[in-house]
Amino acid sequence: MSVFDRFSLEGRVAIVTGASSGLGVTFALALAEAGADVALGARRTSLLDETRGKIEALGRRCVAVRTDVADPADCEALVAAARDQLGGADVLVNNAGVGRVVPSHKDDPAEFARVLQINLVGAYQMAQAFGRACIAAGHGGSIINVSSVLGMVSTDAPQSAYSASKAGLLGITRDLAMQWTLRRGIRVNALVPGLIHSDMTAAIEADEKASASALASIPMRRLGDADELVGALLLLASDAGSYMTGSFLVVDGGWTAQ
């Protein structure tokens, strides 16, 4: 097997949540280009259908399922669609998430809880559904939890709920790796992006003070592009990363190196 063959996902089925826009679309297309058939989950079905069309244009099979990861039944349904319509579930990219920029003294506890329910509890519920499917099928798999450097560092933009959810996702990554890798053959890692041009970073980019502070903390002095996450994603998803579990793969322009 060549070096490049180890990055191939031919014959595998990947599930991507939050696949209707932003990083989710980039991730889904990258997995398809690497050879995977893809099950897409998101709440916005019209945009989800657009992503499905792009994947099918690459010659890969694809199924799109309206999915609210905050609902455990939806998580189970997405994994079931991958299994029943595409033949299995080998890779899960836990990408669904929402942001919230608000000073903590003005924050609504219900909104704080909503962010955690989607970003943290939702990712856990998707991992549970995926893990059960792998265990039932008697094979391993790869879970990639999309966290953020804001689970490790801070910016001038007040984002307590988002930061807490992404820090919690790192804890879940470590715990599930310990539970499932040896006994179940399921690798669990976190992809940790820095500030990447997307809908999620729009609020920071629009805030002159927060943007200047963030750029000053990044040795490369720029935000990243979504395509710059693809190499790390494929490493974690494929056999090229077969000795990685419980790892946090940081792609942040050097921010956390300081």
DSSP state at residue 223: P
- Is residue 79 predicted with pLDDT exceeding 80? yes
Residue 132 lies inside a defined structural domain of this protein: yes
Mean pLDDT value across residues 136-150: 96
- Structural domain containing residue 91: 9-248
- 258 within domain boundaries: no
- In the prediction, which pLDDT does 111 show? 87
Tell me, yes or no, whether 176 lies in a domain. Answer: yes
pTM of the predicted protein model: 0.95
Q: What is the DSSP string of 183-196?
A: HH-EEEEEEEE-SB
- Is residue 92 domain-resident? yes
Q: Quickly count: other Cβ atoms within 10 Å of residue 257's Cβ.
A: 9
Q: What is the CATH number of the domain that holds 41?
A: 3.40.50.720
pLDDT at 46: 87
User: What is the set of active-site residues?
Assistant: 162
Between 117 and 4, name the one with better pLDDT. 117
Answer yes or no: is pLDDT of 148 > 80: yes
Distances (CA, A) of 138 to 21, 73, 158, 246, 247: 33, 22, 44, 21, 24
Among 105, 116, 95, 3, CA closest to 40: 95
Residue 78 domain-assigned (yes or no): yes
Domain total of the chain: 1
Establish if 99 belongs to a structural domain.
yes
Q: Is pLDDT above 80 for 101?
A: no
Q: Which range among 39-53, 87-101, 190-204 shows the weakest confidence by mean pLDDT?
A: 190-204
Q: Is residue 3 part of a domain?
A: no
**Residue 152 lies inside a defined structural domain of this protein:** yes
Whole-number pLDDT of residue 64:
97
